[in-house]
Amino acid sequence: MSSPLLTIADVAVELPTPRGNLRAVDHVDLSLEAGRTLGIVGESGCGKTMLSRAVLQLLPKKAKLTGRVMFDGQDLARLAPESLRRLRGRDLAVVFQDPMTSLNPVLTIGTQLMETIQEHLELDAPEARKRSIELLAAVGIPAPEQRLTQYPHQCSGGMRQRIAIAIALSCEPKLLIADEPTTALDVTIQAQILDLLAREQRRRHMAMIIITHDLGVVAGRADEVAVMYAGRVVERAPTSALFKRMHMPYTEALLAAIPKLDAAPHTPLPAISGRPPDPTRPLRGCSFAPRCRYATGRCHEAKPALTSAEMPDHLYACFHPIQLAEGVGA
């Protein structure tokens, strides 16, 4: 196995709030190799965005980050701001849910693309312009030359996301982090954008992290999936292994709660009762225990660590894992 491009080791993010410290990310370990796609799924507030911001070193000022983020042999937490800035946008790129987070409303699309390209690559203006047009064409924008002179507000939401992707890809990054890139888009446009990301990822042999709350989005697109709950990774496995047999009750419950296209109308959904724990309150046992139908006394007392049983790459954090093969202990 080649050494990973990205290693997240014991990363925790705490945010001070009036009600006390909030555990946004609670000691997460993850790694990703070049050319691979990792899907991070979880419900609102489980820490997906804070984890990706920890990787990008773009946390809110008052946030406290511990643990290590190794990218391409460098510890990002120890990098000087200037080197970090060079790294972001060049080797490490990001696409947000709202494309306007990364687009400047008062600059034309051409200016924004060319500025990014010229800042990171040694190209003169005509070359950068040529490159910009190629990129816009690659992300499926019709008449790219005309688009260069337009402003973001003159484009539809789907177009803006394509442009944000073009800018993110402009310097051939080694890792692209896409934080809910299609959540704000319509389903037919979502399919187009996901196809676009997958195609560019393959073509460039780029590593990618797709963050989403939709298990359907990662099912067909990620090599590996990490499921987050209340700031922690609670299950992690190669995608096909995970969907074949989920070992963590939360993952199972989450999948069961999704309305299925092939179910008959008026079939009651197996809902998960209650809601996630308050991240400012101390938590002793398993964070899912108050909602888990398999919970025992032990689950309320101790925190289950991420472990594996049958397959070394299928990890779960649960004392009473489900769907384990006969004879395999927890």
Partner 1 sequence: MMQLAVPEVPLLNVDNLVVEYGLGNKTVHAVSGVSLQVARGETLGLVGESGCGKSTLGRAVLQLRRAKSGRVLFDGEDLTAMEGETLRKMRRRVQLIFQDPIASLNPRRRIGDIVAEPLIIAGIKDAVERKRRVHEVLSAVGLDPDLVAGRLPHEFSGGQCQRICIARSLVLNPEFIVCDEPVSALDVSIRAQILNLLEEMKTRFGLTLLFIAHDLAVVKAVSDRVAVMYLGRLCEVGPSQQLFANPAHPYTALLLQAIPVPDPDVRPAESVAAGEPPSPIAPPSGCRFRTRCLRADQRCSAEIPELREIAPGQFAACHHPLA
Residues that bind Mg ion (CB under 5 A): 49
Q: Give min distance, CB of 137 to partner 1, in A.
A: 15
By CB under 6 A, residue 272 contacts ligand SF4: no
Buried b (16+ CB within 10 A) or exposed e, 118-141: bebeeeeeeebbebbbebbebbbb
Q: Would you state the structure tokens that stand for residue 147, as one six-digit string?
A: 């688009």
Amino acid (1-letter code) at residue 32: L
Among 265, 282, 312, 327, binds partner 1 (CB under 8 A): 265
Residue 305: how many CB atoms within 10 A of its CB?
Answer: 11
Contact pick of 226, 295, 306, 315 for ligand SF4 (by CB under 6 A): 295
Give the shortest CB-290-to-ligand SF4 separation in angstroms.
Answer: 8
Total chain residues near ligand SF4 (CB under 6 A): 14
- Of the candidates 221, 243, 209, which has an alpha carbon nearest to the alpha carbon of residue 33? 209
Nearest to 306 by CA among 104, 34, 8, 48: 8
User: Is residue 4 classed exposed, middle or buried when 0-12, 13-18 and 19+ CB atoms within 10 A define those classes?
Assistant: middle
Q: How far is the CB of 17 from ligand ATP (least distance, A)?
A: 5
At its nearest, how many Å lie between ligand ATP and the CB of residue 303?
Answer: 18
Among 292, 306, 314, 315, binds ligand SF4 (CB under 6 A): 292
Q: Which of 270, 298, 310, 330 binds partner 1 (CB under 8 A)?
A: 270
Q: Is 245 near ligand SF4 (CB under 6 A)?
A: no
Q: Which is nearer to ligand ATP, 72 or 214 (CB)?
A: 214
- Residues forming a β-bridge with 21: 16
The answer to whether residues 229 and 42 touch, using CB atoms and an 8 Å cutoff, is yes
Provide the minimum distance between the beta carbon of 315 and ligand ATP in the complex, in angstroms, as a whole number. Answer: 19
Q: Which of 26-34, 108-116, 181-189, 279-287 is the region at the interface with partner 1 (rule: CB under 8 A)? A: 181-189
Query: Between the CA of residue 215 and those of 169, 210, 218, 254, 320, what are the distances in Å?
Result: 25, 11, 5, 9, 23
Task: Give me 7's structure tokens.
Answer: 């290693």
Least Å from the CB of residue 48 to Mg ion:
5
Least distance CB 73 / ligand SF4 (angstroms): 36
Nearer to ligand ATP, 44 or 273 (CB): 44
**Applying CB under 6 A, which residues contact ligand ATP?**
15, 17, 22, 24, 42, 44-50, 60, 213, 279
Sheet with 307-308, edge to edge strand ranges: 92-95, 175-179, 207-212, 37-41, 224-229, 232-238, 315-316, 307-308
Q: Which of residues 197-236 bind partner 1 (CB under 8 A)?
A: 213-217, 219-221
Select the binding partner of residue 253 from ligand SF4, partner 1, Mg ion, none (C-beta < 5 to 8 A, by kind).
Answer: partner 1
Buried b (16+ CB within 10 A) or exposed e, 187-216: eebbebbbebbbebbeeeebbbbbbbbebe
Binding partner selected for residue 8 from ligand SF4, ligand ATP, Mg ion, none, CB under the kind-specific 5 to 8 Å limit: none
Please report whether residue 191 would count as binding partner 1 according to CB under 8 A.
yes
> Residue 15 in contact with residue 26, Cβ under 8 Å?
no
- Do residues 306 and 287 make contact, with C-beta atoms less than 8 angstroms apart? no
Q: The tokens of 34 are what? A: 């070049």
Give residues in contact with partner 1 (CB under 8 A): 43-44, 156, 158-159, 186-192, 194-195, 213-217, 219-221, 239-240, 243, 253-255, 257-261, 263-273, 275
Give residues in contact with ligand SF4 (CB under 6 A): 248-250, 286, 288-289, 292, 294-295, 299, 304, 318-320
